[in-house]
Amino acid sequence: MCMLRAAVTVSVLMLATALLPAQSIPTLGPLDAAGRVTYFIANGEAGSAFKPADRDLATWALSAWERASDGRLRFEPSAEEAALLRVHWVPASGGQYGEMRSMRLGDRRGAAVFIRPDTDALGTDIGGAARRDSLLRDAIVYLTCLHELGHALGLTHTSDIRDIMYYFGFGGDIPGFFSRYRARLRTRDDVPGVAGLSDADIARVRALYPAR
């Protein structure tokens, strides 16, 4: 267990260092009165370890943020060229497991999210655990989607490990970050009902997108 924890912590810290954001991230939009955010979820690139069912994990993550916004945001699927928010599945690279890049769509701020669903990128120990436990693998991919979509919405990292926006560079029980969520799942169908957001995550997204 100690060897597993050490290996996972090192690999996740590499990820977190690469993803340390600027002091602030602009919100999406400007949005219309309905708070509509068009989105597009791409197919996985070759070598990404993408599974077709991973689309559900990204969609469920969007739904979690939509519920958290209390009606301030409404995500709607669209063609890629019209999407303000785009999700891509790419191969593991450079120790990263997810990334968000801001983009422009006309005069509006959008975001492209790149998810790296190859859990082997987190090290041989956690990769093996994820291969033995498909729900752990899905929990990791789902929480990565949730975290990167949080950045897309304008949320920065926090220092509270209870938050989905927690920055792994602060240390703490990183394997536990994933396993605590996994422990709340009996089957994959439980994921949509177990958001994985803290009260602070919810309060922050509502502060970024006030009620209209």
pLDDT greater than 80 at residue 8: no
Sign of the four-CA dihedral 132, 91, 198, 157: positive
Exposed/middle/buried for residue 20 (C-beta within 10 Å: 0-12, 13-18, 19+):
exposed
What is the average pLDDT value for the chain, to the nearest integer? 87
Question: Quick check: is 136 in a domain?
Answer: yes
How large is the C-alpha radius of gyration of the chain? 16
CATH number of domain containing 28: 3.40.390.10
End-to-end CA distance of the chain: give it in Å, rounded.
Answer: 49
Question: Quick check: is 210 in a domain?
Answer: no
Phi, psi of 95, deg, nearest 5:
80, 0
Question: Quick check: is 36 in a domain?
Answer: yes
Question: Comparing 47-61, 127-141, 168-182, which segment has the lowest mean pLDDT?
Answer: 168-182
- Exposure letters 47-67 (e unless 16+ CB within 10 A, then b): ebbbbeebbbbbbbbbebbbe
Question: Quick check: is 162 in a domain?
Answer: yes
Cβ neighbours, 10 Å, residue 186? 8
Chain centroid to Cα 166, Å, comes to: 11
- The predicted pLDDT at position 94 comes to 65
- Nearest one of 8, 46, 47, 2 to 127, comparing CA atoms: 8
- Nearest one of 132, 139, 134, 211 to 175, comparing CA atoms: 139
pTM, whole model, 2 decimals? 0.88
What is the domain range of residue 140?
2-204
For the chain, what is the domain count? 1
Question: Which residue in this structure is represented by tokens 């799942």?
Answer: 185
Question: Quick check: is 34 in a domain?
Answer: yes
Mean pLDDT (whole number) for 19-29: 70
Question: Quick check: is 195 in a domain?
Answer: yes
Question: Quick check: is 212 in a domain?
Answer: no
The tens digit of pLDDT for each residue in 51-108 reads 999 999 999 999 999 999 999 999 999 999 999 999 999 998 766 779 999 999 999 9
pLDDT greater than 60 at residue 9: no
Question: Quick check: is 6 in a domain?
Answer: yes
